[in-house]
């Protein structure tokens, strides 16, 4: 209540809470006193005595009505101010816990998502590997290919969570980060529903349809999708994925798509200005998988599914 703040936002919040006679702190203390007075009735003897001689419950009810008439119209403003302070405390706490984080630069025109050495805040810094991102315009897509466990999904989550942090005004885990604020649309963990009678594939199609409808309505979207159309056969998946990506490019969206389908990399030849191939590789050394989790150019060359199945005792 008496703390002096330098931030304009915090000054406005404090002003809302302590303005004039309608101080939130004073009002809460009064309400606390009324609540304690009501609790006297919980003592059978005190309650009986107070209500017989002083009509205690009626008196406290009148005090509560007076309080509501005096402060009721300001409650919503106080809760909004407290919610904002709580939000700022959370962002400040994140910044304090990650002193290496940097504040992003906002570019309002065109579209850019560019960063160096981006890391995920939930991964132990001792083992976390940073990677870049560079999408510099609309109708740009990065196709991320790679073996199992190579880091594709983690990379998508890293871009997504840092983009959300940047949108909230928080610092991001990167050496630098430049972005344009637009709506983020992700499809990383789609679920089926027994209750609604929806298969995984149908649930995914509904998500993809939502993206197309919003793009056709003129909305600008930054899209992050992990292994699209995984709920169908390989031939339909490949054909559908290519058609979907062509539609995204035509509708002016930008984003990242991770896939095991290496054929999607062929779209870079059809759309050299719009599609860029990126990959995560795996090496097998001394009968062990070796991951460096570093993003590289091009389409993935090494796969590990057969190797992993053999390691698990599955005859291939």
- Nearest Cα to 238, choosing from 215, 274, 277, 264? 264
**What is residue 312's predicted lDDT score, i.e. its pLDDT?**
65
CB atoms within 10 A of CB 14: 19
**What is residue 97's predicted lDDT score, i.e. its pLDDT?**
92
CB 158 within 8 A of CB 118: yes
Taking the C-alpha atoms of residue 160 and residue 97, their distance in angstroms, rounded to an integer, is 20
Residue 40 reports pLDDT greater than 60: yes
Taking the C-alpha atoms of residue 249 and residue 269, their distance in angstroms, rounded to an integer, is 14
**What is residue 25's predicted lDDT score, i.e. its pLDDT?**
85
- Residues 200/202/207/213 CA torsion (nearest 10 deg): 170
Confidence of residue 295 (pLDDT cuts 50, 70, 90): very high
Confidence of residue 116 (pLDDT cuts 50, 70, 90): very high
CB 111 within 8 A of CB 254: yes
Taking the C-alpha atoms of residue 277 and residue 288, their distance in angstroms, rounded to an integer, is 27
Mean pLDDT of the chain: 86
Name 121's Cβ contacts closer than 8 Å, sequence gap at least 6.
94, 98, 161, 165, 173
Write the Ramachandran bin of 283: left for phi over 0, alpha for psi from -120 to 50, otherwise beta.
Answer: beta
* Mean pLDDT computed over 103-118: 93
Angle at which helices 8-18 and 75-97 pack, to 10 degrees?
A: 150
Task: Please give the C-alpha separations between residue 170 and each of 6, 77, 154, in angstroms, as whole numbers.
Answer: 18, 24, 20
For the stretch 76-91, pLDDT in tens is 888 888 898 888 889 9
| Percent above pLDDT 90 for the chain | 43
SS3 117: strand
Residue 193 reports pLDDT greater than 70: no
For the stretch 239-256, pLDDT in tens is 888 888 899 999 999 999
* Mean pLDDT computed over 17-26: 77
Give 135's Cβ-side CA count (13 Å radius). Answer: 26
Taking the C-alpha atoms of residue 145 and residue 131, their distance in angstroms, rounded to an integer, is 15
* pTM score of the predicted model: 0.81
75: DSSP letter: H
* Mean pLDDT computed over 154-160: 95
CB 146 within 8 A of CB 281: yes
Structure tokens at 251: 């509708």
Q: 45-49, 186-190, 268-272: which range is least confident on average?
A: 186-190
- Nearest Cα to 164, choosing from 154, 176, 177, 153? 177
Taking the C-alpha atoms of residue 25 and residue 114, their distance in angstroms, rounded to an integer, is 45
């Amino acid at each position: 209540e008496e703390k002096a703040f330098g931030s304009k936002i915090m000054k406005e919040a404090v002003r809302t809470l302590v303005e004039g006679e309608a101080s939130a702190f004073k009002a809460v203390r009064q309400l606390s006193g009324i609540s304690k007075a009501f609790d006297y009735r919980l003592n059978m003897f005190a309650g009986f005595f107070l209500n017989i001689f002083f009509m205690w419950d009626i008196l406290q009810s009148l005090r509560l009505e007076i309080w509501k008439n005096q402060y009721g119209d300001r409650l919503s403003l106080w809760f909004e101010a407290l919610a904002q302070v709580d939000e700022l405390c959370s962002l400040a706490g994140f910044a304090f816990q990650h002193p290496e984080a940097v504040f992003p630069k906002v570019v309002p025109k065109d579209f850019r998502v560019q960063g160096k050495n981006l890391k995920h805040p939930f991964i132990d810094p001792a083992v976390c590997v940073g990677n870049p991102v560079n999408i510099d315009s609309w109708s740009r897509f990065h196709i991320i290919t790679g073996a199992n466990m190579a880091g594709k999904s983690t990379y998508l989550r890293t871009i997504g969570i840092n983009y959300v942090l940047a949108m909230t005004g928080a610092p991001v885990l990167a050496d630098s980060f430049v972005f344009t604020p637009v709506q983020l649309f992700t499809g990383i963990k789609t679920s089926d529903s027994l209750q609604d009678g929806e298969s995984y594939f149908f649930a995914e199609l509904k998500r993809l349809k939502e993206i197309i409808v919003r793009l056709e309505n003129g909305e600008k979207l930054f899209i992050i999708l992990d292994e699209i159309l995984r709920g169908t056969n390989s031939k339909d998946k490949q054909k559908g994925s290519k058609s979907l990506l062509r539609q995204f490019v035509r509708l002016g969206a930008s984003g990242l798509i991770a896939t095991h389908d290496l054929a999607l990399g062929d779209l870079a030849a059809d759309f050299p200005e719009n599609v860029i191939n990126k990959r995560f590789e795996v090496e097998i050394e001394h009968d062990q998988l070796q991951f460096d989790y570093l993003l590289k150019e091009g389409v993935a060359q090494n796969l590990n599914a057969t190797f992993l199945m053999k390691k698990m005792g599955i005859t291939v």
